[in-house]
Every structure is written in C-alpha cells, then in structure tokens.
Amino acid sequence: MTELIRLIRAICLYDLKNRLLVTDDVICGERKDIIRMDKEIYISSLKKLLKLEVNQLIMGHPFKPMGKPVLTGDEPRRMIETSIDIAEKM
C-alpha cells in the first residue's frame, strides 16, 4: 500500500450537484516545474476535467495566470487550458 500512495501524487474531487471542482496540485497553470508525472497522462487527465461543467474551482495553490485559489465563471476552463498548453510545450 505504501508504494501505491507514492505513485498517486494528486487527486480531484467533483461535486456534481454544485458543479464544484476541488484540486490539489493537479492544475498547475504556468508552473511546469511541478508537473511530476508522465506528460501525456497529465494532459489526458486535464482534458477529462475540461468535460466537466464547473461553476467553481478550488485549487490547492493560487498558481498563475489567475493567481487566486478560488475560480469562477470562465476562469476554471481558462486555467485548465493554460495548464494543458504549458504541458504540451514541455
């Protein structure tokens, strides 16, 4: 079990009723230095998040470009798209 825990580095929680997405370090924004997993798996995971209807995103850290821990409106989508863009350029 200890080995499994080391492999899982971040999770997301989604509240379907309230369309609330809670992430840890999953959505890195412009911080490519903290992407610690296979790039293709990371991008694929983010693209899955883009399919969710999100009214509010609560992040573990206020990464740029938004620079705040709670995002609303179109901010969650823009933040995820920025994370994908940065990862694709790595």
Most distant CA atoms of the chain, gap in Å: 39
On whether the CB atoms of residues 74 and 60 are closer than 8 A, the answer is no
The structure's pTM equals 0.82
One pLDDT digit (tens) per residue for the chain, 90 residues: 344 444 456 778 899 999 999 987 788 777 777 777 778 888 888 899 999 999 999 988 888 888 899 999 999 999 999 999 988 988
Q: What is the pLDDT of residue 2?
A: 40
Q: What is the pLDDT of residue 9?
A: 63
Tell me how many degrees the CA angle 1-61-63 measures, rounded to the nearest 5. 125
Q: What is the pLDDT of residue 6?
A: 41
Q: What is the pLDDT of residue 35?
A: 72
- Inter-CA distances, 74 with 1, 25, 27, 68, 71, Å: 38, 20, 15, 14, 8
On whether the CB atoms of residues 27 and 85 are closer than 8 A, the answer is no
Which domains can be identified in the chain, with CATH numbers? 2-88 (3.60.15.10)
